[in-house]
């Protein structure tokens, strides 16, 4: 059964796609541990608390939410992007609604190009053979950058994993690990030669995106939101074959995904952000180190969330609460 499940991931070729799952039992999001370090902007104007700042949230499914463990979708009519009410932009909007006016156009499966200049055709929850979405197909949505303009005060953007092809990598790793019965590093052996070129391309696309956002919204501060810890330092925590973790990905391949894919992804985003005076990087990785897919107190779900939710490695409500704490701190700093 486990090998068949791993082979079934071949249908999930889009990175960080939204997935159909049954509604979860009630679960209150607990406050996340840790406080984000303040982000400083050169020459940031003084803004009174009474002013409403125009905030636009851009990004992929790690921003939008998409899975049931990150809340319920609330868009009416649905556009297929699957934003959920416990995703971090919505959490912050409830926390700081008196200070910021939110426009959230993040979208599951978005790439950097979908933020910069390429329209996206959202897939909603249409993922045959796992699920059929009655509202599919959805009309294309415009490039997310079109939502920002001269009146935008602050932009948050969490994107890059799809451009790098992370979900495609974990899909292939699950298939390879199933075929090797958990031995060795079959995925690393196959994919590692091309990773650096992908990272180099990601850096170039991210640089261009930041330039486009600055041109469209010249007075806006840009907060580039990184990705949380997904794979633990100790991969022996990730039991082979456990679909609530990484299924059939070998422990050796998980270590490779952490050190050669996920950590360099965050470093590439941080490096690009450092080239822009009006931009800052929001680190989610450090604070979530003990809350990976394989930790008991997880902030990111594995392939499956019990009893019957397909989650395909996405943050749950606790992970979004942690992201909200750090992004919120950075947002408040833009007012100083």
- The domain total for the chain is 1
Two tokens, residue 45: 């104007």
**Helical spans, DSSP H, in the chain:** 2-8, 61-64, 88-96, 112-116, 161-164, 166-179, 186-216, 251-256, 263-273, 317-333
The CA-atom distances, in angstroms, between 155 and each of 1, 98, 133, 217, 313 are 44, 17, 31, 9, 25
More confident position, 59 or 277: 59
Biggest distance spanned by C-alpha atoms of the chain? 60
More confident position, 34 or 293: 293
Q: What is the mean pLDDT of residues 185-207?
A: 98
Question: Is residue 28 included in any domain, yes or no?
Answer: no
Question: Is residue 59 included in any domain, yes or no?
Answer: yes
Of the pLDDT bands very low, low, confident and very high (cuts 50, 70, 90), residue 257 is very high
CATH code of residue 130: 3.40.50.1110
The CA-atom distances, in angstroms, between 202 and each of 60, 122, 198, 208 are 15, 21, 6, 10
**CA angle in degrees (0–180, nearest 5) for 167-61-194:** 30
Helices 186-216 and 263-273 cross at an angle (nearest 10°) of 20
Question: Is residue 22 included in any domain, yes or no?
Answer: no
More confident position, 3 or 263: 263
| CA atoms of 230 and 292, how far apart (whole Å) | 5
DSSP state of 224: E
Above pLDDT 90, what percent of the chain? Answer: 79
pTM score of the predicted model = 0.88
Average pLDDT of every residue of the chain: 88
Cβ atoms of 69 and 311 closer than 8 Å: yes
Question: Is residue 30 included in any domain, yes or no?
Answer: no
Question: Is residue 40 included in any domain, yes or no?
Answer: no
Of the pLDDT bands very low, low, confident and very high (cuts 50, 70, 90), residue 299 is very high
Which residues sit opposite 315 in a β-bridge?
300
| CA atoms of 103 and 171, how far apart (whole Å) | 32
Positive or negative: CA dihedral 217, 218, 220, 225: positive
Two tokens, residue 168: 């495609």
Nearest to 201 by CA among 244, 172, 162, 175: 162
What's residue 24's pLDDT?
A: 35
Question: Is residue 275 included in any domain, yes or no?
Answer: yes
| CA atoms of 284 and 286, how far apart (whole Å) | 6
Which residues sit opposite 131 in a β-bridge?
127
For residue 130, what are the contacts with CB-CB under 8 A and spacing of at least 6? 8, 11, 12, 19, 20, 310
Cβ atoms of 249 and 312 closer than 8 Å: no
Give the HSE-up count for residue 66: Cα atoms under 13 Å, Cβ half-sphere. Answer: 33
What's residue 10's pLDDT?
A: 41
Q: pLDDT tens-digit profile of 177-187?
A: 999 999 999 99
What's residue 15's pLDDT?
A: 35
Element (H, E) at 223: strand 221-225
| CA atoms of 127 and 273, how far apart (whole Å) | 34
Of 34-38, 93-97, 100-104, 291-295, minimum mean pLDDT range: 34-38
Domain of residue 102: give its range.
2-15+53-333
Q: How far apart are the first and last CA of the chain?
A: 55
Range among 50-54, 132-136, 306-310 with highest mean pLDDT value: 132-136
Q: pLDDT tens-digit profile of 138-159?
A: 999 999 999 999 999 999 999 9
Question: Is residue 152 included in any domain, yes or no?
Answer: yes
Question: Is residue 209 included in any domain, yes or no?
Answer: yes
């Amino acid at each position: 059964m486990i090998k068949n499940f791993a082979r079934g991931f071949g249908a999930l070729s889009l990175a960080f796609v939204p997935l159909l799952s049954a509604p979860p039992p009630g679960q209150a999001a607990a406050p996340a541990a840790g406080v984000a370090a303040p982000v400083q902007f050169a020459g940031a104007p003084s803004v009174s608390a009474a002013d409403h700042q125009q905030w636009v949230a851009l990004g992929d499914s790690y921003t939008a939410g998409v899975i049931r463990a990150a809340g319920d979708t609330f868009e009416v009519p649905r556009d297929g992007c699957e934003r959920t009410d416990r995703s971090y932009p919505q959490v912050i909007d409830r926390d700081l609604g008196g200070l910021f006016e939110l426009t959230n156009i993040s979208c599951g499966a978005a790439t950097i190009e979908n933020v910069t200049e390429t329209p996206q055709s959202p897939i909603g929850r249409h993922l045959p053979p796992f699920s059929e979405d009655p509202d599919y197909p959805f009309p294309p949505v415009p490039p997310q950058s079109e939502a920002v303009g001269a009146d935008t005060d602050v932009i948050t953007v969490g994107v890059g994993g799809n451009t790098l092809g992370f979900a495609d990598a974990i899909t292939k790793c699950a298939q390879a690990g199933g075929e090797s019965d958990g031995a060795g590093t079959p995925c690393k052996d196959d994919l590692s030669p091309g990773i650096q070129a992908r990272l180099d391309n990601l850096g170039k696309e991210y640089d261009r995106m930041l330039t486009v956002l600055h041109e469209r919204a010249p007075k806006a501060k840009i907060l580039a939101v990184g990705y949380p810890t997904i794979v633990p330092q100790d991969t022996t925590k990730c039991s082979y074959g456990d679909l609530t973790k990484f299924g059939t990905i070998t422990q050796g391949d998980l270590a490779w995904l952490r050190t050669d894919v996920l950590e360099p992804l965050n470093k590439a985003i941080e490096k690009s952000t450092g080239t822009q005076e009006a931009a800052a990087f929001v680190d989610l990785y450090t604070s979530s180190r003990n809350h990976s897919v394989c930790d008991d107190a997880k902030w990111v779900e594995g392939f499956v969330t019990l009893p019957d939710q397909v989650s395909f490695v996405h943050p749950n409500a606790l992970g979004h609460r942690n992201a909200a704490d750090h992004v919120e701190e950075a947002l408040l700093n833009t007012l100083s």
